[in-house]
Amino acid sequence: MKDSLGSVQSLLVLGGGSDIALATARKLAQDRTKRIILAGRPSERLDAGADLLRGLGAEVRVVNFDALEFGEHEKVLAPLFEEGDIDVVLLAFGVLGDQKTDERDPLAAAKVVQSNYVGAVTSSLVVAEALKKQGHGALVVLSSVAAERGRKDNFIYGSSKAGLDTFAQGLGDSLQGTGVHVMVVRPGFVDSKMTAGLPKAPMSTTPEAVAEGIVDGLRREADLVWVPAQLRYVFSGLRHLPRPAFRKVVDKQA
């Protein structure tokens, strides 16, 4: 259960190998989160993350979960809630893809969309139902600034996040009055394994900063968190920029 100061006791991470997810889990485990389930595709990274969290005194379970196996989501995720309440679910999986290659390989593009959007929708729905039964809890959905406006250098990834972002907003509204809180997180360019080798964008951030934003947002029960926070104001301007002008901004940046 969440306590009066906003600390939580249990966490389920979907996409447990992600840098942002691990940074968040670490921050929570240093506080009072002592029951953690890391769901993801089996990897050394995932196991190493689990060990690290155990070192912080958490009881950690690793569960085999694949975003692309939509058919399995109900079967894999629903039983996790039978073992005890889950205070926070962090939906952190996602792939960036390679825009240039994927444009020439529609099936590769479909995979990005299926993981980031379709898999996120199916797993979110399973989680939302379970949280509703619990009568409390938070679902944190990792979106991206790329969801805000389409741009030529990341529109496959961006559109998948835009779909997820809209989905999560509506899901949050539909869960009003059920005790369940949905929080959308829109990080800017995050310096992580996902973006390794890519040129850094302005106002870039780190997994630790995103984790900080998530933990703080959970305490405040925020609906939407930008990291860094100033991006909110930047985009409230960029959102209304006419397309030709926006293209110029993007080109200048690149």
Partner 1 sequence: MGTDRAGTRVPGTDLEVAAVPQPRREKLTGWGRTAPSVAEVVRPSTREQVAEAVAGAGARGIVARGLGRSYGDPAQNAGGRVLDLTGMNRILGVDLETGTVEVEPGVSLQQLMQAMLPFGYFVPVTPGTRYVTVGGAIGCDIHGKSHHADGSFAQHVLELDLLLADGSVRTLTPESDPGLFWATAGGMGLTGVIVRAKLKMMRVETSRILVETKRVADLDEAMERMTLTDADYRFSVASLDNLATGPSLGRGWVESGNFAGLEHLPAKLRETPLAFHPKPLAAMPDLFPSGLLNRRTIRLMNEANFRRAPKDAHPHLASIGGFFHPLDAIHDWNRVYGAAGFLQYQFVVPFEAAATLRRVVERVAVQGAPSFVTVLKRFGPASPGYLSFPTDGWTLTYDFPTGTPGLAGLLRWMDAQVLEAGGRLYLAKDSRMSPGDLAAMYPRLEDFRKVRAEVDPHGVFVSDQSRRLSL
Stretch that binds partner 1, among 12-20, 126-134, 155-163, 165-173 (CB under 8 A): 126-134
Taking the complex as a whole, the smallest distance from the CB of residue 244 to partner 1 amounts, in Å, to 44
Q: Is 33 in the site for partner 1 (CB under 8 A)?
A: no
The yes or no reply on residue 129 touching partner 1 (CB under 8 A) is no
Extended beta strands in 125-179, E state: 137-142
Q: Does 79 bind partner 1 (CB under 8 A)?
A: no
Q: Which stretch binds partner 1 (CB under 8 A): 3-11, 157-165, 205-213, 237-245?
A: 3-11
Is 117 catalytic? The answer is no
- For residue 85, the minimal CB distance to partner 1 (Å) is 6
Peptide bond into 242 cis (omega under 30): no
Measured from the CB atom, the residue of 37 and 142 that comes closer to partner 1 is 37
Which of 157, 167, 189, 226 is labelled catalytic?
157
Q: How far apart are CA 201 and CA 178, in angstroms?
A: 39
Distances (CA, A) of 35 to 20, 53, 112, 210: 18, 10, 31, 21
Say how many residues touch partner 1, by CB under 8 A. Answer: 17
Nearer to partner 1 (CB atom), residue 42 or residue 179: 179
> E strand or H helix at 23, and its extent?
helix 19-30
Please tell me whether residue 94 adopts helix, strand or coil conformation. coil
Give the up-direction half-sphere exposure of residue 34: CA atoms within 13 A in the CB hemisphere: 3
Which of 111, 136, 149, 151: binder of partner 1 (CB under 8 A)?
136
Three-class SS of residue 86?
A: coil
C-alpha span between 178 and 181 (Å, rounded): 8
User: Among 99, 166, 178, 195, which residue interacts with partner 1 (rule: CB under 8 A)?
Assistant: 178
Asked if residue 7 binds partner 1 (CB under 8 A), the reply is yes
How far is Cα 1 from Cα 87, in angstroms, rounded to an integer?
Answer: 6
Indicate which residues carry an active-site annotation. Answer: 157
- Interface contacts to partner 1, rule CB under 8 A: 1-5, 7, 9, 32, 85, 132-136, 177-179
